[in-house]
Structure 1
Amino acid sequence: MLKAHSSVTALLRYTGISIPDKVATCRNITCMQHLFGAVRWRSKFTAAPLLTAQPARALIDEQIAIQGRFLPPHWPVTVRAHMHSEEGDLWEAFSHYKTNENGVVNLTTDHSVGGSYVGCEPMGLFWALQPAPSAREGLRLRKKDVETPYVVQLSLWEGHVSSSKRPIEDEQTAGRLAASTVERWYMTPHTRRVEIRQNGIVGTLFLPSGPGPFPAMVDLWGMGGGLNEYRSALFASKGIASLSLAYFGHKDIPGPLDELNVGDDYFRSAYNLLQDHPEVCGERIGLIGLSYGVYLVLRMATHIGVKPMCVIGINGPLGSYDKFPGIKSGDVVNYQMLDEHGNFSLRHFTMPSMIPKENQIKFEMLECPLLCIVGEDDYNCASMETANEIEEILRAAGKAQLFTRLSYPGAGHLIEPPYSPNARVSLWTVKPKKINAIWGGHPAPHAAAQEDAWKKMLDFIEYNLRK
């Protein structure tokens, strides 16, 4: 300690700092560490455990680097993620690790040995989120207010724990070592959200920051109805204007909520509205649809006189099957669209052989590239059979070069932006009776499919709308 004292005193004299002898000779020289990083000394104190997550604020498709430090070496620890949905339901995920010889756990490089997933999955705590045991049944996590983030709490725990083994919702429970918070956004700060209620069109337009005109997408979802904005918001955050378009089950569209009350004129008007927008490059517009939205965007591209530059279809049918749309909630049971477990499924009804020829898309009329994304574990739509049929039709028409397929084993129906939790089964309707829809998909391969498909979708859009 005398040696340390003489070194500090000499350093103070060299820098010209005047300090009383009694301070210079003090055994506690912690303040010197702040002033002079090169000063080292032994201490009986160790740093408290630390959990870091960087960046703490990011878009939903960006990776977060999570690391725990200042822990005992070769020590079992749990990293937990939890958040509350906009409806107030608790979602959580757990991963189990052992620290390395330096007392560090790094989720980017280390393998989880248990919990909600196993293996090296840097974003596993996000895509593995599931409703807590106390939450309601049949939940699906979907962002409604895209102008606010998901706020995810991360925490570091001693030992390997999970909600099924011991309750840890109380953050004061013994064993919690450190915590951190991250924000997950669908919109960058200067992305603009514009509600559209014009000429009967119901939608939301998202515009990137900066000067336009921008390439653009028309974004359609499935027969779940309503207005889903989060994919469009993320497109705009990547520099692509996007119109999220409602067509079914929305209060601002005239007619019964449980019936499809719009036709070709509605979709043509929506396309033209986007094409004529002063901040959109009218010659560089693409279409994207999921589920029944696939049929609609393919119909737009081939039957109603608009000329998109590209189309993306995610797990959808090649035509409209009899008695649907126009199906009412009570008709689900009548049409026997339930599987052996009582879950709603349209897989059988979307087989190409089940769709009358007069209701099928005339793919020989397609003039733009089509990216077909298939979840091979899709339990709600005959996606693989549909992709096979489309490819065969285009090949016979001499247009095979327009077709690209991305096919993912273990992925289900709901292939969404990266790191979104998959719901294999979720609530479909409560009237006249409670019925769940089965979507399919296994957590890890479905998450891998979402990550890969999103990157390739963006590449596809960039190539076809900016070339």
Structure 2
Amino acid sequence: MSSQVRLRLLPRARCMFDEPVQVKVAGLRSRQMVTLRARSTDEKGVVFSSSATFRADGSGQIDLERDPSLGGTYTGVEPMGLLWSMRPDTLHKRFQRTKSLNPHMVKISVHDQEKEEGRILAEATNERLLIGDGVIRRTVREGNIRGVLFTPPGEGPFPAVLDLYTSGGGLSEKRASLLARRGFVVLTVALYGNSDMSRNIREIHLDYLEEALEFLKKQYKVGGKGVGVISISKSGDLALSMASYLQGVEAVVWINGCSANTLLPLYYQKSQILPPLMVDLSKLIPTESEAFNGKKVMNDPLAEENEATLIPVERAEGRLLFVASEDDLNWDSTAYVDMMVERLQRHGKDNFETVCYPGAGHYLEPPYGPYCPSSFHAVAGGPVLWGGEARSHAAAEVHLWKKIQEFFRAHLSCDATQTKAKL
């Protein structure tokens, strides 16, 4: 490494996962060409990396907030491009960082592109935390509930959110722990495949989610009588069913879900309340990337034979935020939003708002993680395309993350008298 070249991560090299950093390089020759590279390994051992080529200014400096990448995994001025443009070293792998106690470590390095091509001139490590200072993490094994509870520091009261990040079974703590750092008491729960739970699932019981709601409402730092629910993909229909059939759901964030109950029958109080909308795998479209396009695989929920699968969303009393990616290739999220809006308006309801993101794909997550164009899908039995274009998708995640917090703060009641009553 060169003793003269300095790589700085500002305001500090250690930050939260959902916070941007400013990358600066100094000590280069005037107009020197260099390549910046980022590299990280996820919790499954998959290596993700990115690169971008820059020309230093007349004083030998580069600032990613000012200077465009001239080539690499992204181009143009994108201050966080090195992070969201990271790609796996194996095709069709999705970045896995689900455990809140394990930070996302990103090694960033500066490489010479002129005299000694590829030589490392400087390097630094960006430690991106998933759990903030003072946030309390507690494993929950009470009654039937299997999950993790995150509580912010301070006296409260705080609004409460149930995180249904249930894709693929097991638990994902990332979104829940990051929301807790933003001032929410958050419980993330598993539906299957965690701890002593079954590895497979044939039906879903709303009673389990009702039990989780009641547990969350009883936490002593929680203010208010209601709870928010955040979802994505399949769990979107579960969140809507909770709002439609259960008491105490004040606000729902539905991200790229469906307007019908999908894949598994839904039970409540020992009776089936919604049959499943099923898939037609013959409609999977193969692509040159060897990943399938599954956008048209779900059966039509508006077809007469499938009407019973539609969620009676007009029964929901809480506020609803429908978030759809216009380039979602998992299924037609925007069409499902249109169906729900039409149904709500037909019943004289206006307790909803919609946000649509052009150029975004299916998996909208907390910002600054690697964009995922394709990965394994259990229902398809192979890799599928998730849709979206990396730059647009990354911008959507930044906007949505702020929107989610604003929505919950606006629509979740938070009363200090409620917390005192629990003590």
**TM-score strictly above 0.5:** yes
Q: Does the alignment pair 1:197 with 2:157? A: no
**Contact persistence 1:92–1:131 (CA under 8 A):** yes
Deviation at 1:321, TM superposition (A): 4.0
CA distance in 2, matches of 1:223, 1:346: 17
- Superposition pairs of residues 113-128 of structure 1, within 5 angstroms: 113-128=70-85
User: CA offsets, 1:285-316, max 9 Å, x none?
Assistant: 2011101111001100111x322221100000
- Superposition pairs of residues 97-108 of structure 1, within 5 angstroms: 97-108=54-65
CA, structure 1 residues 250+157, in 2 after alignment: closer, same or farther (shift >3 Å)?
Answer: same
CA distance in 1, matches of 2:127, 2:71: 25
CA, structure 1 residues 160+409, in 2 after alignment: closer, same or farther (shift >3 Å)?
Answer: farther
Query: Which residue of 1 is the match for residue 97 of structure 2?
Result: 143
CA, structure 1 residues 246+79, in 2 after alignment: closer, same or farther (shift >3 Å)?
Answer: same
Deviation at 1:464, TM superposition (A): 1.4
CA distance in 2, matches of 1:117, 1:302: 43
Query: Which residue of 2 is the match for residue 365 of structure 1?
Result: 315
Task: Determine which structure has greater relative contact order: mean sequence separation of CA pairs < 8 Å that are 6+ residues apart, divided by chain length.
Answer: 2
Query: Which residue of 1 is the match for residue 366 of structure 2?
Result: 417
Q: Which amino acid aligns with 1:206?
A: F
CA distance in 2, matches of 1:121, 1:347: 33
CA distance in 2, matches of 1:274, 1:381: 32
Query: Which residue of 1 is the match for residue 257 of structure 2?
Result: 316
Deviation at 1:351, TM superposition (A): 4.2
Q: Which amino acid aligns with 2:80?
A: M
CA, structure 1 residues 324+73, in 2 after alignment: closer, same or farther (shift >3 Å)?
Answer: farther
- Superposition pairs of residues 170-185 of structure 1, within 5 angstroms: 175-185=119-129
Q: Does the alignment pair 1:461 with 2:422? A: no
Q: Which amino acid aligns with 2:157?
A: P
List runs of 5+ in structure 1 lacking aligned partners.
1-45, 162-171, 327-331
Q: Does the alignment pair 1:441 with 2:385? A: no
Structure 2 counterpart of 1:238, from 153, 178, 182: 182
Q: Which amino acid aligns with 1:125?
A: L
Structure 1 counterpart of 2:234, from 282, 292, 301: 292
CA, structure 1 residues 374+334, in 2 after alignment: closer, same or farther (shift >3 Å)?
Answer: closer
CA distance in 1, matches of 2:203, 2:262: 16
**Contact persistence 1:205–1:241 (CA under 8 A):** yes
User: CA offsets, 1:354-378, max 9 Å, x none?
Assistant: 5822221112212121111111111
User: Residue 352 of structure 1 aligns to a residue in which SS?
Assistant: coil
User: CA offsets, 1:217-268, max 9 Å, x none?
Assistant: 01112442211111000000111111111113334224xx232444021111
Percent identical residues: 31
Deviation at 1:457, TM superposition (A): 0.9
CA, structure 1 residues 64+385, in 2 after alignment: closer, same or farther (shift >3 Å)?
Answer: same
Higher mean displacement: 350-359 or 143-152: 350-359
CA distance in 2, matches of 1:322, 1:50: 53
Q: Which amino acid aligns with 2:324?
A: V
CA distance in 2, matches of 1:441, 1:160: 35
Query: Which residue of 2 is the match for residue 152 of structure 1?
Result: 106
Query: Which residue of 2 is the match for residue 216 of structure 1?
Result: 160
Higher mean displacement: 341-350 or 235-244: 341-350
CA distance in 1, matches of 2:128, 2:301: 39
CA distance in 1, matches of 2:135, 2:332: 36
Query: Which residue of 1 is the match for residue 334 of structure 2?
Result: 384
- TM-score, normalization by structure 2: 0.88
- Superposition pairs of residues 262-301 of structure 1, within 5 angstroms: 262-301=204-243
Query: Which residue of 2 is the match for residue 57 of structure 1?
Result: 14
List runs of 5+ in structure 2 lacking aligned partners.
268-277, 415-423
CA, structure 1 residues 275+350, in 2 after alignment: closer, same or farther (shift >3 Å)?
Answer: farther
- TM-score, normalization by structure 1: 0.80
**Contact persistence 2:33–2:53 (CA under 8 A):** yes
CA distance in 2, matches of 1:320, 1:143: 28
User: Residue 400 of structure 2 aligns to a residue in which SS?
Assistant: helix
Query: Which residue of 2 is the match for residue 306 of structure 1?
Result: 247
Query: Which residue of 1 is the match for residue 37 of structure 2?
Result: 80
Pairwise CA RMSD: 2.6
CA distance in 2, matches of 1:293, 1:250: 16
Deviation at 1:141, TM superposition (A): 0.7
Aligned length: 398
CA, structure 1 residues 323+148, in 2 after alignment: closer, same or farther (shift >3 Å)?
Answer: closer
Deviation at 1:280, TM superposition (A): 1.7
User: Residue 176 of structure 2 aligns to a residue in which SS?
Assistant: helix
CA distance in 2, matches of 1:265, 1:160: 64
Q: Which amino acid aligns with 1:52?
A: R
User: Residue 252 of structure 1 aligns to a residue in which SS?
Assistant: coil
CA distance in 2, matches of 1:360, 1:333: 15
CA distance in 1, matches of 2:262, 2:354: 23
Higher mean displacement: 293-302 or 261-270: 261-270
User: Residue 450 of structure 1 aligns to a residue in which SS?
Assistant: helix
When Rg is computed on C-alpha atoms for both structures, the one with the higher figure is 1
CA, structure 1 residues 61+380, in 2 after alignment: closer, same or farther (shift >3 Å)?
Answer: same
**Contact persistence 2:56–2:62 (CA under 8 A):** yes
CA, structure 1 residues 351+78, in 2 after alignment: closer, same or farther (shift >3 Å)?
Answer: farther
Q: Which amino acid aligns with 1:415?
A: L
Q: Which amino acid aligns with 1:416?
A: E
CA, structure 1 residues 100+350, in 2 after alignment: closer, same or farther (shift >3 Å)?
Answer: farther
CA, structure 1 residues 434+318, in 2 after alignment: closer, same or farther (shift >3 Å)?
Answer: closer
CA, structure 1 residues 105+325, in 2 after alignment: closer, same or farther (shift >3 Å)?
Answer: farther
CA distance in 1, matches of 2:263, 2:413: 39
Query: Which residue of 1 is the match for residue 24 of structure 2?
Result: 67
Q: Which amino acid aligns with 1:264?
A: L
User: CA offsets, 1:24-74, max 9 Å, x none?
Assistant: xxxxxxxxxxxxxxxxxxxxxx97011111221111111101000011111
Higher mean displacement: 288-297 or 347-356: 347-356
Query: Which residue of 1 is the match for residue 375 of structure 2?
Result: 426
